[in-house]
């Protein structure tokens, strides 16, 4: 094993699990991909920790390294292969899991010496592979699992995965092939996990899945049409902020909006809804759920029930067959929709996706041009929306502290993807995880600056 420079993975030092005894077997974890993959990594580490393994903060100290891969886009696959290569060079004993693990031949074609390859959510197989590579040495007297499991995210916020898989068949997406059909976790199990997290000091729960609004619709004996509403209500009662990601604009989403309008319910007035496009023909070619729904009407209804709601979304430009007129329709739609937070990707072929074989792929320079025009518009909307917040008083959660400022988030900002509110004076008494009141002094394109309210 080589000497490990301090910036090399596995560097998920937020796990911060102390080594408890000298003979404890040690595993390293490299976690790539989306927040959902991060939750998987946390679960694997939680189990290993429960079995008496220590989590190594570097390659050199690990007896084997798990690489949790992402296989969504070709660029993510390349990144995963690079990460596996790095782990092999730096450590030599590598177990691969996660989305790209579904393609064992592809991985072994480049890296034949990996110890094992397991697919997404194959927790038992990952653990088996770890047991084979590095036998456990349990000690029931000291191997106590931390109450909230092992967390890779900072202690004051946590992702909460409520289901796996997806029943849709969007043409650009291979997640249903990799992750299977929708399987919702029982509400009691989700609540137990959420309660433990809140007891352990988590101030914000980020609810994730492939399709959050479909939660529970796979249960044959469900009592209501939309079990997500009941789950959101119960989570909101725990006293932490509850933020909903990956919600689709199904009609039953309207039921949740009045809950968001009343702060005492604990559900943040925030919806992360991946619209992907606005033109009905493009959406149909994408085979998007709710392709035909009148989303502007839905948005207007949500805003009427909850005027402070923050809407975040992601879009794809340059989808095969996207005409100038369809793209212009998207820009006009943005003018009307006035979304608060927006991400945008240029369409990219993904191995195995059905969209690859669609006619009329858009040339790279047109995709780039559309992306720039889209982002210019999104940025102007964001800037105007943030400028309107100057002078307002609001609650923020403190994420980070350094000598210069406290980096915080408002209810309108999800960690890692949205903006921040910075306090650069009088913040010395604050601690990470504090919930404080501020007044907004200044606004930029994506961030705010403010001072502590009296």
Distance between alpha carbon 374 and the CA centroid of its chain, in Å? 23
Is 166 among the residues that bind ligand SF4 (CB under 6 A)? Answer: yes
User: Interaction with ligand SF4 in 270-329: which residues (CB under 6 A)?
Assistant: 289
State the residue for tokens 């959660």. 397
Nearer residue to ligand SF4 within complex by CB, 178 or 242: 178
Return the H-helix or E-strand segment holding 131: helix 123-133
Nearer residue to ligand SF4 within complex by CB, 116 or 244: 244
Half-sphere exposure (Cβ direction) of 425: Cα atoms closer than 13 Å: 7
Q: Whole-number minimum distance, CB 169 to ligand SF4, in Å?
A: 6
Residues whose CB falls within 8 Å of the CB of residue 112, separated by 6 or more in sequence, listed in order: none
Q: Whole-number minimum distance, CB 168 to ligand SF4, in Å?
A: 4
Is 173 among the residues that bind ligand SF4 (CB under 6 A)? Answer: yes
Longest CA–CA span in the chain (Å) reads 67
Rounded to 10 degrees, the C-alpha dihedral 94/100/101/102 comes to -170
Is 210 among the residues that bind ligand SF4 (CB under 6 A)? Answer: yes
Q: Whole-number minimum distance, CB 233 to ligand SF4, in Å?
A: 24
Binding to ligand SF4 by CB under 6 A, coded x per residue (else -) over 115-154, reads: ----------------------------------------
Q: Whole-number minimum distance, CB 170 to ligand SF4, in Å?
A: 3
3-state secondary structure of 19: coil
Nearer residue to ligand SF4 within complex by CB, 136 or 280: 280
How far apart CA 313 and CA 171 sit, in angstroms, is: 19
What does the angle CA 80 – CA 86 – CA 89 come to, to the nearest 5 degrees?
145
Asked if 129 and 118 count as a contact pair (C-beta separation under 8 A), the reply is yes
Part in contact with ligand SF4 (CB under 6 A); list of ranges 44-52, 131-139, 169-177, 346-354: 169-177
How far apart CA 371 and CA 317 sit, in angstroms, is: 6
Asked if 151 and 42 count as a contact pair (C-beta separation under 8 A), the reply is yes
Nearer residue to ligand SF4 within complex by CB, 53 or 315: 315
How far apart CA 100 and CA 206 sit, in angstroms, is: 24
Nearer residue to ligand SF4 within complex by CB, 93 or 179: 179
Written as six digits, the tokens of 270 are: 């925030």
Nearer residue to ligand SF4 within complex by CB, 68 or 210: 210
Is 175 among the residues that bind ligand SF4 (CB under 6 A)? Answer: yes
Part in contact with ligand SF4 (CB under 6 A); list of ranges 14-22, 49-57, 172-180, 406-414: 172-180
Nearer residue to ligand SF4 within complex by CB, 168 or 233: 168
Binding test (CB under 6 A) with ligand SF4, winner from 63, 103, 143, 211 = 211
Where b means 16+ CB within 10 Å and e means fewer, 312-326 reads: bbbbbbbbbebeeeb
Part in contact with ligand SF4 (CB under 6 A); list of ranges 125-133, 164-172, 216-224, 397-405: 164-172
Part in contact with ligand SF4 (CB under 6 A); list of ranges 146-154, 170-178, 217-225, 430-438: 170-178
- CA separation (Å) from 247 to 67, 224, 258, 270, 325? 29, 18, 16, 10, 27
3-state secondary structure of 292: coil
Binding test (CB under 6 A) with ligand SF4, winner from 170, 226, 253, 283 = 170
Binding test (CB under 6 A) with ligand SF4, winner from 43, 131, 168, 373 = 168
Return the H-helix or E-strand segment holding 224: none
> Number of helices (H) and strands (E), helices first, in the chain?
12, 18
Is 99 among the residues that bind ligand SF4 (CB under 6 A)? Answer: no
How many residues bind ligand SF4 (CB under 6 A)? The answer is 10
Nearer residue to ligand SF4 within complex by CB, 184 or 265: 184
Part in contact with ligand SF4 (CB under 6 A); list of ranges 165-173, 187-195, 373-381, 402-410: 165-173
Part in contact with ligand SF4 (CB under 6 A); list of ranges 82-90, 171-179, 388-396, 440-448: 171-179
Return the H-helix or E-strand segment holding 85: helix 74-90
Q: Whole-number minimum distance, CB 357 to ligand SF4, in Å?
A: 17
Nearer residue to ligand SF4 within complex by CB, 157 or 172: 172
Distance between alpha carbon 56 and the CA centroid of its chain, in Å? 24
Q: Whole-number minimum distance, CB 167 to ligand SF4, in Å?
A: 7
Neighbours of 427 (CB within 10 A): 21
User: Which of 433, 390, 432 has its CA nearest to residue 241?
Assistant: 433
Residues that bind ligand SF4 (CB under 6 A): 166, 168-170, 173, 175-176, 210-211, 289
């Amino acid at each position: 094993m080589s000497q490990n420079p301090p910036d090399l993975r596995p560097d998920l030092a937020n796990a911060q699990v102390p080594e408890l005894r000298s003979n404890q077997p040690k595993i390293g974890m490299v976690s790539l991909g989306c927040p959902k993959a991060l939750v998987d990594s946390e679960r694997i580490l939680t189990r290993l920790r429960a079995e008496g393994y220590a989590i190594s903060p570097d390659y050199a100290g690990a007896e084997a390294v798990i690489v949790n891969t992402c296989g969504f886009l070709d660029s993510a696959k390349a990144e995963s292969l690079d990460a596996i290569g790095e782990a092999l060079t730096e450590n030599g004993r590598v177990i691969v899991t996660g989305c790209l693990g579904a393609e064992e031949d592809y991985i072994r074609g480049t890296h034949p010496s990996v110890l094992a390859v397991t697919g997404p959510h194959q927790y038992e197989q990952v653990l088996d592979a770890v047991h084979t590579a590095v036998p456990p040495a349990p000690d029931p007297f000291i191997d106590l699992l931390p109450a909230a499991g092992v967390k890779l995210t900072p202690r004051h916020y946590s992702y909460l995965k409520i289901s796996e898989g997806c029943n849709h068949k969007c043409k650009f997406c291979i997640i249903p092939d990799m992750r299977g059909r929708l399987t919702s976790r029982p509400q009691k199990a989700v609540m137990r996990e959420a309660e433990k997290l809140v007891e352990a000091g988590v101030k914000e729960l980020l609810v994730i899945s492939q399709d959050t609004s479909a939660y529970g619709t796979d249960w044959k004996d469900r009592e209501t049409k939309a079990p997500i509403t009941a789950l959101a209500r119960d989570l909101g009662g725990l006293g932490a902020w509850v933020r909903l990601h990956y919600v689709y604009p199904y009609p039953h989403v309207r039921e949740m909006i009045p809950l968001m309008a009343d702060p005492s319910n604990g559900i943040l007035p925030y919806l992360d809804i991946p619209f992907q496009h606005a033109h009905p023909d493009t959406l149909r070619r994408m085979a998007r759920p709710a392709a035909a729904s009148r989303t502007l009407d839905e948005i207007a209804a949500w805003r009427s029930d909850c005027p402070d709601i923050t809407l975040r979304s992601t879009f794809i430009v340059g989808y095969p067959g996207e005409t100038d007129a369809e793209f212009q329709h998207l820009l006009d739609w943005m003018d009307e929709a006035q979304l608060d937070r927006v991400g945008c990707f240029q369409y990219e072929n993904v191995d195995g996706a059905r969209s690859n074989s669609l006619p009329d792929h858009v040339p790279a320079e047109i995709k780039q041009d559309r992306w720039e025009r889209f982002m210019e518009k999104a940025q102007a909307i964001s800037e105007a929306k943030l400028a309107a917040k100057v002078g307002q008083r609001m609650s923020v959660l403190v994420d980070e502290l350094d000598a210069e400022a406290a980096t915080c988030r408002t209810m309108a900002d999800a960690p890692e993807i949205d903006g921040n509110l910075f306090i650069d004076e009088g913040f010395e008494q604050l601690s990470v995880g504090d919930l404080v009141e501020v007044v907004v002094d200044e606004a930029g394109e994506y961030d705010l600056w403010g001072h502590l309210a009296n």
